[in-house]
């Protein structure tokens, strides 16, 4: 990528961040909602820690992984709704009329979205630490957690961008919200997979990629440097990003019919 | 280094078909000379915006060829985009960014940075009269301010050719006039070639050096406004009978002087005179002789609307709306 393309990507990413920052609903909701769910789960399900084989005696620490994935989802939906609005209003056409390369438009959008998700992740981490959670992986683990969050956000962001570019409809992107949430709730978000009694649920949680994202974050919080789980989380995030990016790039070429 | 190419626009047999849709543009041939303001006039849905989208490389043509600034719109899209500026039909702005932030983003996309960028932004803000509002969010701008910002955005990289797609639609008279002045200045002082689509006759009349009239995707007339009006040559007489029972008598008298045409007002009878000599006195005498009493009598000099009427059989104003209504009515039986 050339220096000009990098500057253009940064400018587009900055625009995505500024636009989100100027809409209080898009800032407050992704910060508060995951924390509310976190508080409810941590309070209501803490008896789970008495189950034989439960990996920690702190359900707060166990549950802290969920806001990271949920926050990335919320950031994705909000930012990609705005992306779809750019298509509807013709803003994307305005950008397409400049010499900027198509891929830069996508990188800029994804870059802005990932930045927002990482800022949110810092907030979730701060709240977790304030509630007495101590990362078993230490300070280095916190850095790794933010890196993992970047990859998770990139995975969801690229899939969301694909939906925005494919449909050009804010409603269609908003429609992804419940779909993503089904994946979240059918994962190991509330209980380790090996402790799920219902066979069908354990099977669904096992084939659900979201489980591996949550488990990688959770490993950094409650286990430490469990490279296998962390590596699997990165691999799943990378695979989802690759699929999402390929789909989004294809949709971008179709959307921008420019010659 | 490649020598600079001519700032002209040329299209030959340009066609655009949409899936399951009509042929939006149906074989357009046109040439716009360097420094010229070309007015592309037509009703809603005539194919104006589709033509602009093809000439600005946003949409590939289904058939035909076009060059803009000497570059082929299909094969040399990036070169075309460097040479042109465009303000499309909707002023596509981000309501959460300020005017200055829009200009910063646009200059960055064009690879303009540093001191040059700051100077260019200040210059454009001054030129479009947005210096004071530059640091306000666009959601607080009026329609006129948005259009002026849109124009400034199209000019950040000093384009040689400017495409303006219905730039004054929805603007008040003051904002419209200010935009006309700026577009005129760009062409005269900076030699910018301007391709301007409009559905306003007055806009084409005031601004354009030459006008192309488009209907159903085809150019039905082209020339200077004077040439086009001269083609029509004769004035139109329009009258409204005081007593509706005398409508038949009025028609029979007026038809002695020309061919009946579509009137402007409700209940009026209009005739395009066959002779270019002013024979209003003769018409009045004939009507008097037949005892026809009028409530209104007007003589219209040829306008671009008359040209449109002569070429298409419809008035320009509302032609697009009529078509939309027609197509809805045609769909009714299918729905039933």
The 10s digit of each residue's pLDDT in B223-236 is 998 888 877 667 78
Please tell me which of the candidates A90, A99, A258 has its beta carbon nearest to residue B88: A90
Last residue of a domain, one of B206, B229, B252: B229
Q: Under an 8 A CB cutoff, do A89 and B92 touch? A: yes
Is residue B16 a part of any domain in this protein?
yes
Of the residues B107, B108, B138, B156, the best mutation for testing chain A's interface (the one with the most A CB atoms within 10 Å of its CB) is: B108
Please check whether residues B165 and B294 belong to one and the same domain: no
28-87 in A: which are within 8 Å (CB) of B? 86
Is residue B15 a part of any domain in this protein?
yes
Q: Under an 8 A CB cutoff, do A90 and B74 touch? A: no
Please check whether residues B297 and B213 belong to one and the same domain: no
Q: Under an 8 A CB cutoff, do B108 and A97 touch? A: no
Our CA-based measurement puts residue A256 at a distance from the nearest CA of chain B, in whole angstroms, of 7
pLDDT at B94: 95
- Residue B4 — pLDDT band, cuts 50, 70, 90? low
Please tell me which of the candidates B59, B92, B105 has its beta carbon nearest to residue A11: B105
Predicted TM-score of the model (pTM): 0.83
Of the residues A19, A99, A107, the best mutation for testing chain B's interface (the one with the most B CB atoms within 10 Å of its CB) is: A99
- Residue B331 — pLDDT band, cuts 50, 70, 90? very low
Distance CA B217, CA B174 (A): 32
Q: Which residue of A has its CA nearest to B72?
A: A259
Query: How many structural domains is chain B composed of?
Result: 2
Please check whether residues B129 and B173 belong to one and the same domain: yes
Please check whether residues B223 and B241 belong to one and the same domain: no
Return averaged pLDDT per consecutive 10 residues of chain A, 259 residues in all. 90 95 91 92 88 91 94 90 92 92 93 94 95 93 96 94 94 89 93 93 96 96 95 97 96 85
- Residue B329 — pLDDT band, cuts 50, 70, 90? very low
**β-bridge mates for residue B16, sequence order:** B25
pLDDT at B277: 59
pLDDT at B276: 60
Q: Which residue of B has its CA nearest to A258?
A: B58
Please check whether residues B155 and B184 belong to one and the same domain: yes
189-248 in A: which are within 8 Å (CB) of B? none
Please check whether residues B77 and B201 belong to one and the same domain: yes
The 10s digit of each residue's pLDDT in B120-132 is 999 999 999 999 9
Q: B78 to chain A: which residues are within 8 Å by CB?
A: 99
φ, ψ (nearest 5 deg) of residue B299: -120, 130
Rg (CA), chain A: 19
Q: Under an 8 A CB cutoff, do B105 and A15 touch? A: yes
Q: What is the CATH number of the domain that holds B146?
A: 3.40.50.300
Q: B153 to chain A: which residues are within 8 Å by CB?
A: 94
B32 in Cβ contact with B70 (< 8 Å): no
Q: What is the ipTM of this complex?
A: 0.89
Distance CA B19, CA B22 (A): 8
Please check whether residues B69 and B139 belong to one and the same domain: yes
The 10s digit of each residue's pLDDT in B33-85 is 999 999 999 888 889 999 999 999 999 999 999 999 999 999 999 999 999 99
The 10s digit of each residue's pLDDT in B256-306 is 888 777 776 777 888 877 766 557 788 888 888 988 888 888 887 777 877
Task: Determine the structural domain holding residue B45 and report its residue range.
Answer: 9-229
Of the residues B105, B114, B195, the best mutation for testing chain A's interface (the one with the most A CB atoms within 10 Å of its CB) is: B105
Please check whether residues B192 and B275 belong to one and the same domain: no
Q: Under an 8 A CB cutoff, do B110 and A99 touch? A: yes
What residue segments make up the domains of chain A, in order of their start? 3-255
Please check whether residues B164 and B184 belong to one and the same domain: yes
Is residue B334 a part of any domain in this protein?
no
Per-residue pLDDT at B21 exceeds 90: no
pLDDT at B302: 77
Last residue of a domain, one of B197, B229, B261: B229
Distance CA A87, CA A96 (A): 11
Please check whether residues B215 and B250 belong to one and the same domain: no
Our CA-based measurement puts residue B144 at a distance from the nearest CA of chain A, in whole angstroms, of 17
Q: A96 to chain B: which residues are within 8 Å by CB?
A: 58
Smallest CA-to-CA distance from B164 within B107, B216, B91 is with: B91
Is residue B326 a part of any domain in this protein?
no
Q: What is the CATH number of the domain that holds B284?
A: 3.30.70.260
Q: Which residue of B has its CA nearest to A14?
A: B105
Q: Which residue of A has its CA nearest to B155?
A: A98
Tokens of A7: 């500057």
pLDDT at A187: 95
Distance CA A165, CA A162 (A): 5
Smallest CA-to-CA distance from A238 within A143, A158, A174 is with: A158
Please check whether residues B65 and B207 belong to one and the same domain: yes
Q: Under an 8 A CB cutoff, do A94 and B137 touch? A: no
Please check whether residues B19 and B49 belong to one and the same domain: yes
Is residue B219 a part of any domain in this protein?
yes
Measured in whole angstroms, how far is the alpha carbon of residue B82 from the centre of its chain?
24
Please tell me which of the candidates B74, B109, B153 has its beta carbon nearest to residue A8: B109
Q: Is A5 at the interface with chain B, CB within 8 A?
A: no
User: Does residue B21 sit in helix, strand or coil?
Assistant: coil
Work out the widest C-alpha separation in chain A, in whole angstroms.
63
Our CA-based measurement puts residue A2 at a distance from the nearest CA of chain B, in whole angstroms, of 11
**Mean pLDDT, rounded, of chain B:** 86
Average pLDDT of the residues in B309-314: 77
Angle at B125 between CA B120 and CA B126, to 5 degrees: 100
- Residue B172 — pLDDT band, cuts 50, 70, 90? confident
Q: A22 to chain B: which residues are within 8 Å by CB?
A: 96, 137
Q: Under an 8 A CB cutoff, do B109 and A98 touch? A: yes
């Amino acid at each position: 990528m050339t220096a000009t393309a990098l500057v253009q990507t940064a400018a587009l990413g900055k625009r995505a961040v500024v636009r989100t920052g100027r809409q209080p609903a898009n800032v407050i909701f992704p910060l508060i909602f995951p924390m509310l769910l976190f508080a409810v789960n941590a309070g209501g399900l803490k008896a789970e820690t008495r189950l034989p084989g439960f990996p920690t005696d702190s359900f707060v620490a166990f549950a802290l992984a969920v806001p990271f994935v949920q926050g990335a989802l919320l950031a994705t939906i909000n930012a990609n709704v705005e992306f779809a609005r750019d298509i509807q209003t013709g803003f994307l056409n305005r950008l397409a009329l400049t010499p900027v390369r198509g891929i830069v438009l996508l990188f800029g959008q994804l870059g802005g979205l990932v930045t927002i998700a990482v800022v949110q992740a810092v907030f979730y981490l701060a709240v977790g630490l304030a509630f007495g959670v101590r990362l078993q992986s230490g300070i280095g683990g916190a850095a790794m957690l933010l890196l993992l969050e970047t990859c998770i956000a990139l995975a969801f962001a690229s899939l969301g961008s694909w939906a925005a570019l494919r449909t050009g409809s804010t409603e269609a992107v908003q429609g992804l919200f419940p779909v993503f949430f089904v994946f979240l709730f059918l994962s190991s978000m509330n209980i380790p997979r090996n402790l799920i009694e219902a066979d069908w649920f354990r099977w669904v949680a096992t084939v659900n990629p979201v489980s591996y994202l949550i488990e990688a974050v959770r490993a950094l919080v409650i286990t430490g440097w469990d490279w296998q789980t962390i590596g699997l989380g990165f691999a799943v995030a990378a695979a989802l990003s690759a699929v999402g990016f390929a789909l989004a790039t294809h949709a971008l070429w179709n959307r921008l019919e420019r010659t | 280094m490649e020598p600079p190419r001519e700032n002209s626009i040329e299209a030959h047999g340009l066609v655009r078909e949409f899936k399951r849709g009509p042929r939006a543009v149906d074989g357009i041939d046109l040439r716009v000379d360097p420094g010229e303001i070309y007015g592309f006039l037509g009703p809603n849905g005539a194919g104006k915006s589709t033509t602009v989208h093809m000439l600005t490389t946003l949409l590939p043509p289904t058939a035909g060829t076009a060059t803009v600034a000497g570059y082929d719109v299909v094969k040399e899209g990036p070169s075309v985009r460097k040479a042109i500026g465009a303000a499309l039909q909707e002023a596509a702005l981000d309501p959460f960014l300020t005017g200055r932030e829009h200009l910063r983003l646009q200059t960055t996309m064009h690879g303009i940075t540093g001191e040059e960028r700051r100077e260019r932004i200040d210059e454009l803000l001054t030129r479009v009269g947005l210096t004071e509002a530059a640091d306000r969010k666009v959601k607080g701008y009026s329609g006129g301010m948005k259009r002026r910002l849109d124009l400034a955005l199209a000019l950040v990289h000093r384009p040689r050719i400017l495409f303006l797609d219905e730039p004054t639609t929805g603007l008040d008279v003051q904002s419209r006039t200010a935009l006309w002045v700026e577009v005129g200045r760009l062409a005269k002082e900076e030699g910018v070639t301007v391709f301007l689509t409009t559905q306003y006759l007055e806009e084409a009349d005031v601004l354009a050096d030459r006008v192309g009239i488009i209907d159903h995707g085809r150019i039905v007339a082209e020339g200077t406004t004077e040439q086009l009006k001269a083609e029509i040559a004769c004035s139109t007489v329009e009258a409204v009978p005081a007593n509706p029972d005398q409508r038949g008598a009025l028609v029979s008298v007026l038809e002695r002087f020309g061919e009946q045409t579509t009137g402007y007002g409700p209940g009026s009878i209009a005739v395009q005179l066959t002779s270019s000599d002013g024979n209003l006195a003769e018409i009045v005498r004939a009507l008097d002789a037949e005892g026809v009493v009028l409530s209104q009598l007007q003589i219209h000099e040829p306008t671009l609307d008359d040209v449109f009427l002569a070429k298409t059989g419809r008035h320009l104003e509302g032609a697009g709306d009529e078509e939309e209504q027609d197509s809805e009515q045609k769909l009714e039986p299918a729905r039933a």
